[in-house]
Every structure is written in structure tokens, then in C-alpha cells.
């Protein structure tokens, strides 16, 4: 009997010891997690401040440099990524010219009408959008119809589009906006703009414009995909000639596009839709502190001389 009691006491002792060890391990784990979480929060705050400083620095550079020349190009200081080391981390700053992209708010008017005339001062860039979408094997006409229906003020759907009746039948239904797009992210709400479509188009599209009449595309900064979409006569070879020309001699005025061999007849019809100077820029600052990363993106309009933020996102 005494042996049984000693064995039972040993079992109890082992169980208590195991429980104590488990409690100690749990306590240590909680302390570690709490400390790590607190440190991650502090690092996140530092990274956020560092990213915001990067944004402010880029705004300062643009505010100072833009008035110095009557044109903007990829040879300018802002166009080069900036990597800035900091005592506890680093920040990388990149700037994109929004006027190098196609503004989807201008492919149709508020009445949903597509205008296509090259000499029309209210040219909506419909043809440019069609050519750009086709480059990526996308249903160009349907996507343009969908954007027009989202923007226009009526409820009459186009053949490939959709108005509030179509959107209300979705699982979590909503109405068509009947107004201009505020952000590129808003396109995800529009018929046909899946994540795959947006991924293809994102580098080449914007919703911002210099004024409420037109959204001119900067021939000094536009990528080949946009240049070839400007006119059906501009093929890859001609677009590459434009890019090579501006690498050595940026266009100081949009009229100088005629200097590129092959552009004499084409450039005349583009004058209402192109520019050589930009005032709207997307700035991205990615900061890292002790492995914790924060990113801030903003779009800033410098048209008035004083920077006006049109968009701000932190993640």
C-alpha cells in the first residue's frame, strides 16, 4: 500500500511540475509576444513617419523644380528613384507622371457620348482607350461602354455596359455612380474590370487631369504602350523613335513632335490631346524600420503653384 501511495505521489508531483513548466512557458511566451508586438508597433510608427517625410521631400523637389522649365521629361531629377538610408532603416521614393497615362474619365462625356474627332477640343480619348485595351487583348468596346455608363448621368445602358439596374442585381448590389471616377481603385466596381484586367492596365491609366476640358498626355514621359495608342498610325517602331529622340532632346513644346521622322502628318491631329509639361504626379514612399514596412502613396497637383493632394493612401 505504501508503495502505491509513493507511486501516486510521484504521479501528482510530475503533473504539478508539468503544469508549472507549462505556466512558465506560457508566461515567457506572452511576455515575448507582448514585447514583440509593442516593438513592431513602435517600428511601424517610425516607418510611417519616415515614409511621410519621404513624401514631403519629393513634394519639395517637385515644387522647386517644376517652375524652372516649360517642359517635364524623364531626364528630370524627380524621375529617378531615390533610396535614402536612415539610422534605423531606409526609405525608397518613386515619382510617376500621371499625365503619362490615359485618363479614363475622358473617354466619354457626361452624356455618355463618345467623341472621336481629332480636331475636337473636347476629344474624349475614346480611340486611344480602344487601341490601348486591344493591346492587352481585352474587350475594348465593352470596357469603354461600361466606363461611359458608370460616368454618364443617365440610366440608359450601352450594349456592353451596365447601369444601376445591372449593378443592383449583383450579390451585394449598388447603383452606378453617374459621376467621374475618383480613384483608379474605383474601377474594381465597374463591369468587366476584374483584378486581372486592372493588373494589366494599372501602369497606363489614371483618373486625373490638368483641367475639366481635357487630359493631355505628356509625349516626354508616356510609355510606348500609350504612344502607340494615341494614333493607329503610330506603330511600335515609330513609338520607339519618339522615345529615342526625347532621350537626347526632350520636347520643349508639343508642336516639336513633328521633328520625329514619320510624325509630320500625324502630330497635327494630336495637338489637342498631348502636352510637353505635366503638373500631376503620383508619389510613393516605402519605408522600412527593423523589418517593418510602411508605404504611403499620394497624388499631387502642382498646377496652381501650391501642391494640392488629390489622393492619399497608407498601408
pLDDT tens-digit map of 33-91: 455 567 778 888 999 999 999 999 999 999 999 999 999 999 999 999 999 897 778 99
As a 3-state breakdown, the chain gives helix, strand, coil percent values, each rounded to 5, of 50, 15, 35
Pairing status of strand 89-97 against strand 280-289: antiparallel
Output the nine-digit C-alpha cell for 222.
Answer: 508616356
Backbone angles phi, psi at 228, to 5 degrees: -70, -20
How far apart (Å, rounded) are the C-alpha atoms in residues 166 and 173? 9
What is the rounded distance in angstroms from the CA atom of residue 98 to the CA atom of residue 221?
Answer: 9
- For the cut 80, the answer to whether the pLDDT of residue 27 exceeds it is no
Q: What is the pLDDT of residues 181-229, one digit of tens each?
A: 999 999 999 999 999 999 999 999 999 998 777 899 999 999 999 999 9
Q: Buried b vs exposed e over 224-260: b needs ≥16 C-beta within 10 Å?
A: ebbbbbbbeebeeebbebbbebbeeebbeebebbeeb
Question: Residue 136 has which C-alpha cell?
Answer: 492587352
Q: What CATH class does 2-98+280-314 carry?
A: alpha beta
pLDDT of residue 121: 41
- Ordered alpha helix ranges (H), 263-305: 264-268
Reported as a single tens digit per residue, the pLDDT across 143-175 is: 999 999 999 999 999 999 999 999 999 999 999
pLDDT at 292: 93
Q: 101-275 is classed in which CATH architecture?
A: Orthogonal Bundle (1.10)
Quote the pLDDT of residue 28. 53
Task: Please state which of the ranges 24-38, 244-258, 287-301 shows the lowest mean pLDDT.
Answer: 24-38
Banded pLDDT at 122 (limits 50, 70, 90): very low
Task: Inform me whether the pLDDT recorded for 15 exceeds 60.
Answer: no
CA distance 195 to 140: 16
Q: Return the beta strands (E) in 99-243 as ranges.
A: 102-103, 205-206, 217-218
Contact predicate 97/75, CB 8 Å: no
Domain ranges, ordered by start, for the chain: 2-98+280-314, 101-275
- 274 forms bridges with which residues in the sheet? 217
Please state the rounded mean pLDDT for residues 260-281: 94
Non-local CB neighbours of 189 within 8 Å, separated by 6+ positions? 150, 167, 174, 177
Residue of 114, 66, 74 lying closest to 210 (CA atoms): 66
- In the chain, the percentage of residues whose pLDDT exceeds 90 is 73
For residue 100, count CB atoms less than 10 angstroms from its CB and return exposed for 0-12, middle for 13-18, buried for 19 or more: buried
Distance from C-alpha of 174 to C-alpha of 171, rounded to nearest angstrom: 9
Amino acid at each position: 500500500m505504501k508503495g502505491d501511495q509513493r507511486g501516486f505521489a510521484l504521479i501528482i508531483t510530475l503533473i504539478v511540475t508539468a503544469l508549472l513548466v507549462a505556466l512558465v512557458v506560457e508566461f515567457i511566451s506572452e511576455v515575448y509576444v507582448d514585447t514583440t508586438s509593442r516593438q513592431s508597433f513602435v517600428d511601424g510608427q517610425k516607418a510611417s513617419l519616415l515614409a511621410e517625410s519621404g513624401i514631403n521631400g519629393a513634394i519639395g523637389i517637385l515644387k522647386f523644380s517644376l517652375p524652372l522649365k516649360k517642359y517635364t521629361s524623364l531626364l528630370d531629377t524627380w524621375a529617378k528613384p531615390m533610396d535614402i538610408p536612415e539610422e534605423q532603416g531606409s526609405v525608397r521614393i518613386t515619382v510617376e507622371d500621371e499625365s503619362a497615362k490615359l485618363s479614363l474619365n475622358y473617354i466619354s462625356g457626361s452624356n455618355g457620348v463618345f467623341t472621336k474627332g481629332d480636331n475636337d477640343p473636347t476629344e474624349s480619348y475614346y480611340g486611344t482607350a480602344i487601341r490601348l485595351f486591344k493591346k492587352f487583348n481585352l474587350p475594348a468596346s465593352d470596357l469603354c461602354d461600361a466606363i461611359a455608363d458608370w460616368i454618364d448621368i443617365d440610366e440608359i445602358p450601352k450594349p456592353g455596359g451596365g447601369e444601376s439596374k445591372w449593378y443592383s442585381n449583383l450579390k451585394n448590389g449598388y447603383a452606378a455612380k453617374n459621376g467621374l471616377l475618383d480613384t483608379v481603385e474605383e474601377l474594381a466596381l465597374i463591369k468587366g474590370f476584374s483584378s486581372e484586367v486592372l493588373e494589366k492596365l494599372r501602369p497606363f491609366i489614371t483618373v486625373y487631369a490638368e483641367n475639366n476640358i481635357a487630359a493631355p498626355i505628356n509625349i516626354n514621359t508616356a510609355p510606348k504602350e500609350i504612344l502607340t495608342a494615341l494614333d493607329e498610325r503610330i506603330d511600335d517602331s515609330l513609338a520607339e523613335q519618339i522615345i529615342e529622340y526625347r532621350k537626347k532632346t526632350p520636347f520643349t513644346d508639343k508642336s516639336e513632335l513633328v521633328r520625329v521622322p514619320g510624325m509630320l502628318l500625324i502630330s497635327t491631329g494630336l495637338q489637342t490631346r498631348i502636352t510637353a509639361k505635366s503638373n500631376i504626379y503620383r508619389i510613393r514612399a516605402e519605408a522600412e524600420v527593423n523589418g517593418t514596412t510602411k508605404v504611403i502613396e499620394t497624388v499631387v497637383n502642382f498646377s496652381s503653384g501650391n501642391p494640392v493632394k488629390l489622393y492619399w493612401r497608407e498601408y
